[in-house]
């Protein structure tokens, strides 16, 4: 009897060694995206592509707040129930919603939260320090080089004395950018005229309010305004009011020019950071990263419609020219 039992154990042991290992379950990655527009959509694609190319098996749970802060907060609460291995928050309002939710839910305080397309993560209350975030939240910033943006507009309009800016004063990133622009226009002796909005449906009227008051209009990386960029471009074309943007994805949508970076590459940069975290990197000691490479994109048809002449030297520097 003992011999039979020993034989049975030996067979079980041998077959146990031969049995294939169970496949690893895909990691759950929950996404809280504030609104759909080309730049933020490109961030998500870049993030997903980078991680897939790096060989990670992932189950993406993508949520979109449609530019509604209350919805972003509800999505953050829903994400808690998804028990993800990592969270991606795209744009400042969604990142703030995730940060606030994490503080109220101890179960999420060890889950890595990565933000992307966030202008000023310190003033937005996401991290206390760019080099040492200190918690479970870090990511990539799209801080705008405002001096170079204003420099581009002044190169095209050397006699510029007044500039309009449209932004959502309820977005922390937009307020930070507006403050930077105020400082730069003040140094240059240019009058800055602000038109603020609360929702995308306000953009058309805000644009109309600037007609006849300014010589050009600039739009920072403001999610609310960019989501309704075509309405703004329509007003500017009808009024022959030159329109400039902070992101290159707005150029084919009607901006004369933009000096910005590729948001798809921005997403890939965030994806590479996520990969390092999956491999053991600690978000608390993972510095916030910036993207430095800028490209000039121009739109010839928009320039013509708005009465703008672009110099040959500027066109020669353009990485992409939209006809």
- Its domain, for residue 157, covers 146-260+295-322
Cβ atoms of 90 and 101 within 8 Å: the answer is: no
Residue 284 resides in a domain? yes
182: confidence class by pLDDT, cuts 50, 70, 90: very high
Residue 15 resides in a domain? no
Q: Both 33 and 171 in a single domain?
A: no
Q: Both 205 and 229 in a single domain?
A: yes
Closest CA to 196 of 235, 218, 226, 166: 166
Q: How many domains does the chain have?
A: 2
Tokens representing residue 6 in the block:
């020993």
Q: Both 150 and 135 in a single domain?
A: no
Q: Both 156 and 73 in a single domain?
A: no
pLDDT of residue 293: 80
Q: Both 177 and 303 in a single domain?
A: yes
Residue 22 resides in a domain? no
Cβ atoms of 131 and 287 within 8 Å: the answer is: yes
Q: Both 132 and 151 in a single domain?
A: no
Q: Both 214 and 311 in a single domain?
A: yes
Residue 4 resides in a domain? no
pLDDT (tens digit per residue) in 237-275: 999 999 999 999 999 999 999 999 899 999 999 999 999
How far, in Å, CA of 288 to CA of 129, rounded?
8
Q: Is the dihedral of CA 145, 150, 151, 152 positive or negative?
A: positive
Residue 189 resides in a domain? yes
Residue 2 resides in a domain? no
Q: Which residue has the tokens 């992307």?
A: 116
Cβ atoms of 85 and 79 within 8 Å: the answer is: no
Whether 18 has a pLDDT exceeding 50, the answer reads no
CATH number of domain containing 69: 3.40.50.2300
Q: Both 45 and 104 in a single domain?
A: yes
Q: Both 231 and 215 in a single domain?
A: yes
Mean pLDDT, residues 171-182 taken together? 92
pLDDT (tens digit per residue) in 185-201: 999 999 999 999 999 99
Residue 168 resides in a domain? yes
pLDDT (tens digit per residue) in 88-120: 999 999 999 999 999 999 999 999 999 999 999
Q: Both 250 and 266 in a single domain?
A: no
Cβ atoms of 277 and 312 within 8 Å: the answer is: no
Q: What is the mean pLDDT of the chain?
A: 92
Residue 201 resides in a domain? yes
Q: Both 58 and 72 in a single domain?
A: yes
Q: What angle do CA 68, 72, 73 make, to 5 degrees?
A: 120
pTM of the model: 0.81
Whether 130 has a pLDDT exceeding 70, the answer reads yes
Q: Both 178 and 138 in a single domain?
A: no
Closest CA to 217 of 102, 306, 315, 112: 306
Whether 297 has a pLDDT exceeding 60, the answer reads yes
pLDDT of residue 68: 94
């Amino acid at each position: 009897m003992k011999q039979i039992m020993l034989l049975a154990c030996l067979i079980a042991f041998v077959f146990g060694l031969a049995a294939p290992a169970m496949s690893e379950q895909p990691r759950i990655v929950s996404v809280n995206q504030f609104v759909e527009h080309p730049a933020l959509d490109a961030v998500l694609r870049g993030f997903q592509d980078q991680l897939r190319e790096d060989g990670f098996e992932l189950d993406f749970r993508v949520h979109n707040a449609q530019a509604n802060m209350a919805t972003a907060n509800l999505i953050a609460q829903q994400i808690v129930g998804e028990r993800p291995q990592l969270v991606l928050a795209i744009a400042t309002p969604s990142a703030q919603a995730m940060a606030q939710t994490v503080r109220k839910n101890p179960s999420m305080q060890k889950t890595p939260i990565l933000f992307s397309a966030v202008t000023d993560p310190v003033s937005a209350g996401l991290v206390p320090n760019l080099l040492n975030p200190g918690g479970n939240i870090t990511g990539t910033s799209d801080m705008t080089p405002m001096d170079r943006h204003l420099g581009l507009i002044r190169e095209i309009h050397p006699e510029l004395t007044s500039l309009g800016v449209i932004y959502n004063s309820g977005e922390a990133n937009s307020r930070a950018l507006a403050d930077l622009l105020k400082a730069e226009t003040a140094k240059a002796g240019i009058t800055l005229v602000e038109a603020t909005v609360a929702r995308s449906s306000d953009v058309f009227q805000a644009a109309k309010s600037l007609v006849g008051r300014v010589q050009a209009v600039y739009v920072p990386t403001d999610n609310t305004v960019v989501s309704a960029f075509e309405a703004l471009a329509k007003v500017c074309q009808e009024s022959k009011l030159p329109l400039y943007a902070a992101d290159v994805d707005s150029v084919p949508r009607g901006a004369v020019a933009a000096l910005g970076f590729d948001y798809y590459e921005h997403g890939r940069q965030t994806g590479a950071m996520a990969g390092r975290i999956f491999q053991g990197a600690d978000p608390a000691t993972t510095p916030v990263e910036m993207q430095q490479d800028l490209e000039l994109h121009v739109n010839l048809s928009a320039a013509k419609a708005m009465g703008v002449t672009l110099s040959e030297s500027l066109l020669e520097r353009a990485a992409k020219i939209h006809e």
